[in-house]
């Protein structure tokens, strides 16, 4: 006798499925009514939450945080952001030159230095002779930074020591309450607590954009180099500051609502001021003499502006002759370390650097090898330290990028990208119309979930 098959009718199957769906919805609703303090660490809640009722971005810059520092010591708080968010798998690519002020302003504007005007940390305007040395005069700072974009479109912005944010620009006057004046002696803890305090304001006064700057581990990297234990201590301290941010947001029950972006501006490499790692312009004298007055910067970027005088004709041709003679000397095999310096007319620099379209850039630029330096003449110094500013193709110049929040995919790894893309990412999260920039308008699609998309968040207590 054949066995009878236990098969449910299609109608009964549909009824049971509906019962299961209703029971699931009820369970989620009941879970949503529970007190957050009693939640299991495995409780899941649907996005979005409704405490802030708007998108908020908190961007944190850790100056000189070379990609890979997070592997030198335990960084549980940075790891938490990475595991719950989106990370540039092999690091964030800075713009050239890989210096603090050009890169922070590129992050803020989405522009390469040739277009936002801050071509180096220090430089001379070839027309006026004025010297930029991290000054706050508006004439130096071109483009439209995020805090201006936000305020112009009716949002509230807070900056805390971000380079360029103290410069009055358009509707942004760096109001005292929202833009403290730079003071390097302010402890990192105080900076964090000050930014977090803005979340204690009435709902309509909570900022939409907050940008926070840490001067570590750059300071330790310069003083001791990237491989010193004291640098590792600085990295641990930064991780503690990220933990302080996370704890503050959790205490206010908004950790999963705020989009936290952790990044750096550049990396770091060991540099030694010694004959073995230096190139001396005096060694080129048999081919061409380079007066010290021509040199605006020796290294990591050799910047030369020949002072021909107004009456000298064909200055462009004469500049080309200087470049040709310098490269002839450097490639002769008779100049120590000459193979580690390549000199260009600025318009002949590799296009990937985007470093020619500004009259502020000197006409002759020398690209120095990783970890080497240029000096006028020999010294007896043997000091080693850390430095940056080199070609952004060097992996040692890369930094970190982590995005955590509802628009960032959990545990997502993305290929490395240039920091000029970040402006449009933040604008997309905040629903802003971006100003003209050098990033791709499509790039946010590779980093963010579509606006209004939902995901399940594992709430951690």
We report the CATH number of the domain holding residue 291 as: 3.30.1360.180
Answer whether residue 8 shows pLDDT above 90.
Answer: no
Answer whether residue 296 shows pLDDT above 70.
Answer: yes
Rounded-to-integer distance, Cα 156 and Cα 133, Å: 29
The least confident of 46-50, 207-211, 335-339, 361-365 is 46-50
Distances (CA, A) of 400 to 71, 107, 345, 439: 12, 13, 32, 18
Please give the structure tokens belonging to residue 124. Answer: 């001379």
Residue 453 confidence (pLDDT): 60
Mean pLDDT of the chain: 89
Answer whether residue 293 shows pLDDT above 90.
Answer: yes
Given 332, 356, 382, which residue is the final one in a domain? 382
**Packing angle of the helix pair 422-430, 100-109 (nearest 10 deg):** 40
**DSSP element (H, E) containing 74:** none
User: Using an 8 Å Cβ cutoff, are 156 and 211 in contact?
Assistant: no
Tell me whether residue 310 is in a domain.
yes
Q: How many other CB atoms are found less than 10 A from the CB of residue 61?
A: 26
Tell me whether residue 284 is in a domain.
yes
Per-residue pLDDT band for 310 (boundaries 50, 70, 90) equals confident
Catalytic, out of 75, 98, 100, 399: 100
Distances (CA, A) of 449 to 216, 219, 307, 425, 453: 31, 36, 53, 11, 6
**DSSP element (H, E) containing 457:** strand 456-458
- How many Å separate Cα 148 from the centre of its chain? 18
Q: What percent of the chain lies above the pLDDT cut of 70?
A: 87
- Residue 163 buriedness (CB in 10 A; 0-12 / 13-18 / 19+): buried
Task: Answer yes or no: do 107 and 238 share one domain.
Answer: yes
- Residue 329 buriedness (CB in 10 A; 0-12 / 13-18 / 19+): buried
Task: Answer yes or no: do 96 and 204 share one domain.
Answer: yes
Model pLDDT for residues 417-458, shown as the tens digit of each residue: 999 999 999 999 999 999 999 999 999 999 999 976 644 444
Distances (CA, A) of 405 to 50, 78, 193, 240, 446: 14, 14, 20, 20, 15
Residue 276 confidence (pLDDT): 82
Q: Which domain CATH number covers 256? A: 3.40.720.10
Per-residue pLDDT band for 312 (boundaries 50, 70, 90) equals confident
The question of whether 86 is a catalytic residue gets the answer no
Task: Answer yes or no: do 219 and 112 share one domain.
Answer: yes
Model pLDDT for residues 183-199, shown as the tens digit of each residue: 999 999 999 999 999 99
Task: Answer yes or no: do 286 and 254 share one domain.
Answer: no
**DSSP element (H, E) containing 331:** none
Nearest to 375 by CA among 299, 432, 442: 299
Across the strands, what pairs with 172? 169
Rounded-to-integer distance, Cα 183 and Cα 231, Å: 22
Model pLDDT for residues 227-285, shown as the tens digit of each residue: 999 999 999 999 999 999 999 999 999 999 999 999 999 999 998 777 688 999 999 99
Instruction: Find out whether the peptide bond into 11 is cis, omega within 30 degrees of 0.
Output: no
Number of compact structural domains in the chain: 2
Domain with 240, as residue range(s), is 56-269+393-458
pTM for the structure as a whole: 0.87
Distances (CA, A) of 219 to 68, 113, 237, 335: 17, 23, 13, 33
Model pLDDT for residues 340-352, shown as the tens digit of each residue: 999 999 999 999 9
Residue 16 confidence (pLDDT): 43
Task: Answer yes or no: do 290 and 313 share one domain.
Answer: yes
Tokens 């071109």 found at: 142
Model pLDDT for residues 313-332, shown as the tens digit of each residue: 899 999 999 999 999 999 99
Answer whether residue 10 shows pLDDT above 50.
Answer: no
Please give the structure tokens belonging to residue 408. Answer: 């960032």
Q: Radius of gyration over alpha carbons of the chain, in Å?
A: 27
Rounded-to-integer distance, Cα 437 and Cα 434, Å: 8
Per-residue pLDDT band for 311 (boundaries 50, 70, 90) equals confident
Between 41 and 139, the more confident residue is: 139
Nearest to 120 by CA among 101, 106, 137, 135: 101
Residue 272 confidence (pLDDT): 77
Task: Answer yes or no: do 298 and 377 share one domain.
Answer: yes
Given 335, 356, 382, which residue is the final one in a domain? 382
Q: How many other CB atoms are found less than 10 A from the CB of residue 386?
A: 26
Task: Answer yes or no: do 95 and 223 share one domain.
Answer: yes
Residue 42 confidence (pLDDT): 33
What is the average per-residue pLDDT within 29-41? 34
């Amino acid at each position: 006798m054949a066995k009878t098959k236990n098969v449910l009718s299609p109608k009964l199957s549909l009824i049971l499925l509906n019962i299961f769906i209703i029971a699931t919805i009820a369970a989620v609703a009941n879970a949503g009514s529970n007190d957050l303090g009693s939640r299991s660490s495995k409780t899941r809640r649907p996005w979005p939450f409704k405490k802030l009722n708007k998108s908020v971005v908190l961007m944190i810059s850790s100056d000189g945080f070379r990609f890979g520092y997070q592997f030198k010591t335990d960084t549980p708080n940075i790891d938490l952001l990475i595991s719950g968010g989106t990370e540039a798998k092999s690091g964030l690519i800075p713009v050239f030159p890989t210096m603090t002020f050009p890169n922070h302003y590129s992050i803020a504007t989405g522009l390469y230095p040739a277009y936002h005007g801050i071509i180096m940390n220090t430089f001379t305007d070839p027309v006026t002779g004025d010297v930029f040395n991290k000054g706050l005069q508006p004439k130096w700072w071109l483009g439209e930074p995020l805090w201006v974009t936000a305020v112009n479109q009716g949002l509230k912005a807070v900056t805390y020591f971000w380079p360029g944010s103290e410069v009055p620009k358009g509707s942004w006057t760096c109001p005292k309450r929202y833009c403290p004046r730079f003071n390097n002696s302010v402890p990192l803890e105080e900076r964090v607590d000050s930014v977090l305090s803005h979340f204690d304001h009435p709902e309509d006064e909570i900022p939409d954009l907050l940008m926070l700057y840490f001067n570590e581990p750059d300071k330790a990297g310069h003083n001791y180099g990237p491989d010193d234990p004291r640098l590792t201590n600085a990295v641990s301290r930064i991780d503690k500051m990220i933990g302080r941010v996370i704890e503050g947001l959790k205490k206010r029950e908004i950790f999963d609502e705020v989009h936290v972006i952790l990044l750096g501006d550049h990396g770091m490499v060991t540099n030694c001021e010694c004959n073995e790692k230096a190139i001396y312009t005096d060694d080129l004298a048999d081919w061409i003499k380079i007066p010290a007055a021509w040199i605006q910067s020796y290294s990591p970027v050799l910047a030369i502006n020949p002072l021909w005088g107004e009456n000298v004709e064909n200055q462009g041709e004469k500049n080309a002759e200087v470049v040709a003679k310098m490269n002839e000397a450097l490639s002769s095999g008779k100049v120590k370390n000459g193979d580690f310096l390549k000199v260009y007319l600025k318009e002949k620099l590799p296009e990937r650097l985007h470093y020619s379209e500004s009259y502020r850039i000197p006409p002759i630029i020398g690209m120095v090898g990783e970890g080497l330096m240029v000096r006028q003449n020999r010294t007896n110094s043997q000091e080693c330290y850390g430095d940056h500013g080199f070609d952004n193709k060097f992996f040692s110049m890369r930094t970190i990028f982590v995005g955590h929040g509802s628009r960032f995919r959990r545990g997502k790894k993305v290929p490395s990208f240039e920091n000029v893309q970040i402006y449009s990412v933040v604008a997309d999260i905040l629903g802003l119309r971006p100003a003209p920039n050098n990033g791709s308008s499509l790039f946010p699609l590779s980093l963010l979930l579509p606006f209004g998309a939902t995901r399940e968040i594992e709430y951690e207590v």
